[in-house]
Structure 1
Amino acid sequence: MSKWRITFIVLFCIGLLLAVWAFIVGPASFRINEDDIVVDAWPKECNGLRVAILADLHVGSPYKGRKSLQNLVEAVNKSQPDLILLPGDFVIQGVVGGKFVPPEDAAGILKELKAPMGVFAVLGNHDWWLDAARVEQSLESQGISVLEDKSVSLVSSECKLRLVGISDFWEGPHDVKKAMQGIDEGETILAFTHNPDIFPELPAELSLTIAGHTHGGQVYLPFIGRPIVPSSYGQRFAIGHVVEGGKHLYVSPGVGTSILPVRFLVPPEVTVLSIFSP
């Protein structure tokens, strides 16, 4: 066998293995990712607060159907978070190999989520493209509070927070001023939204903003980065902890897939974020 033929066979096998990983192993996997961050304005009374982030569930995308969501809910409850945030995109449109799951079905499973400080949601662009009112009603009817440009006070022992939900940057009003109505000066504010592109517009008094939407690019290539990120800022807000101008942002890569059912070196995850003061 010639050297060129051997080289071709080796490269073909490597390509096949990478394709299997990207289109089967990656999307079908799931992990609870425990991450710690330090936030400048975080109160010592809330040190170690554990926030579970269930972003971009896209229920119905390949390998992420009803049963998968049930398993995810069980895993999140076992991780015992203090607070659970659902930053939007509960449904799918047109993902290759996916099957639409009504938001009512997804909400009926998500109602089993448990956390002492509550379970809260905002809507994502896919939820708006389907029917924002329908998705919101589905969640609210199961006891999950939807904070579209609204806030709520949270108290757990000595920890006091104002949780602010900001509607989607692409499709929602994302009225930050409305969302922050009634908030007193000096309150510790934890915000969450779907699309991190709103981050540069947010006021400095937000201690931390949590978002999803980007899926971490779904694909990460060593030495190259993330070829496709649905953001006007490219890879700037693609994933993880970002600090700019004294403001803190955390972007979870989420669970499902969109457009193509591919995940390569960006595994589906629920992020359990522990937040500490300096």
Structure 2
Amino acid sequence: MFTRRGFVKLLGGGFFGAMALGGYAFGVEPLARLSVARYVLTPSRWPSGLKLRIVALADIHACEPWMSTRRITSICERANALGGDVTVLLGDYAAGMNLVTRYVHSNEWSKALATLKAPLGVHAIMGNHDWWEDRTAQKNGGGETFGHRALAEAGIEVYSNRAVRLEKDGSGFWLAGLEDQLALLPGRKWKRASMGGLDDLDGTLAQVTDEAPVILLAHEPDIFPKVPPRVALTLSGHTHGGQVRFAGHSPVVPSRFGDRYAYGHIVEYDRNLIVSGGLGCSIAPIRFGVPPEIVVVDIG
């Protein structure tokens, strides 16, 4: 028989359970955890003699206490120890929420990222928050953000619809980086009714001049259905894995495709996409089931 005392115990247990889960999602997973997500793949038409390790960092969202300069530096030390041939930064360095004790300036987070090292260099693209937080760039409707300038001054290659050929052990590959797909907010002088992108997929891939494989950096994964099979791998961030993920599903994802491109390795029509769960938080400092992560991809 279900008594009043039993009901009270059940209610109390549920309350304290919810408090414990909330405390973990708010104070432990986003602030104290760091995982390494590893993927191994060999895309079709990948050169048999080329073995490549990519280390990818996404969605840092620099702010205190969640992603301080000290923590970013520590993450970079961990990334350097993973032995990547090339390191890529997938955008969103600027804070994406107001629940902070201090915003970390671009001069600070870029100096922390300058500690990243890789034999084939460190290469970066911008994310939507890097554009949204720059009022001058929004007013101009393009150009450079403070993020572009800070990374360039730190010696990091920044890609804005650009492709560059790299080489390892005598085999070449292309690294292509798109400008952000949601860069421009609505209601500005260009009279857009919705967010406008500055990405140019066709123009970027037109810079590829031989048959070497292409690795594409695109902050938002929503571009993936348009990516041709010519691209061996697309690397994205932006979604944070939904920040809350249960049993392989994210109930809320900032993508028009919902959970389809929320997280992980997705293969569609012989094309590969890897979406990082990211490092920081956006909107709210909550993570559950998708801890901050560094991505390591071994190709070939």
> Which range, TM-score by smaller chain?
over 0.9
Label 1:233 to 1:98 Cα distance change in 2 as closer, same or farther (>3 A). Answer: farther
**Residues 1:241 and 2:265 aligned together:** yes
Q: 1:80 Cα deviation (Å)?
A: 1.5
Within-5 A mapping of 1:1-278: 2-28=5-31, 29-47=33-51, 49-60=52-63, 62-97=65-100, 99-131=102-134, 132-171=144-183, 172-222=197-247, 225-276=249-300
Label 1:107 to 1:37 Cα distance change in 2 as closer, same or farther (>3 A). Answer: same
Identity of matched residues, %: 34
CA distance in 1, matches of 2:244, 2:199: 28
Q: Contact 2:63/2:100 (CA < 8 Å) preserved in 1?
A: no
User: Which piece of structure 1 moves more, 50-59 or 214-223?
Assistant: 214-223
Q: Contact 1:95/1:258 (CA < 8 Å) preserved in 2?
A: no
Q: 1:43 Cα deviation (Å)?
A: 1.7
SS of the equivalent of 1:236 reads helix
Q: 1:168 Cα deviation (Å)?
A: 1.2
Unaligned runs of at least 5 residues, structure 2: 135-143, 184-196
TM-score (norm 1): 0.94
SS of the equivalent of 2:29 reads helix
TM-score (norm 2): 0.87
CA distance in 2, matches of 1:55, 1:197: 16
User: How many residue pairs were aligned?
Assistant: 274
Q: 1:233 Cα deviation (Å)?
A: 0.1
User: Which piece of structure 1 moves more, 59-68 or 113-122?
Assistant: 59-68
Q: 1:97 Cα deviation (Å)?
A: 3.0
Q: Contact 2:96/2:281 (CA < 8 Å) preserved in 1?
A: no
**Higher relative CO (CA 8 A, sep ≥ 6), structure 1 or 2?**
1
Q: 1:146 Cα deviation (Å)?
A: 0.4
Q: Contact 1:197/1:237 (CA < 8 Å) preserved in 2?
A: yes
Q: Contact 2:35/2:291 (CA < 8 Å) preserved in 1?
A: yes
CA distance in 2, matches of 1:271, 1:136: 22
SS of the equivalent of 2:115 reads coil
Amino acid at match of 2:291: P
Aligned Cα root-mean-square deviation (Å): 1.6
User: Which piece of structure 1 moves more, 74-83 or 57-66?
Assistant: 57-66
Q: Contact 1:93/1:100 (CA < 8 Å) preserved in 2?
A: no
Rg (Cα) greater in structure: 2
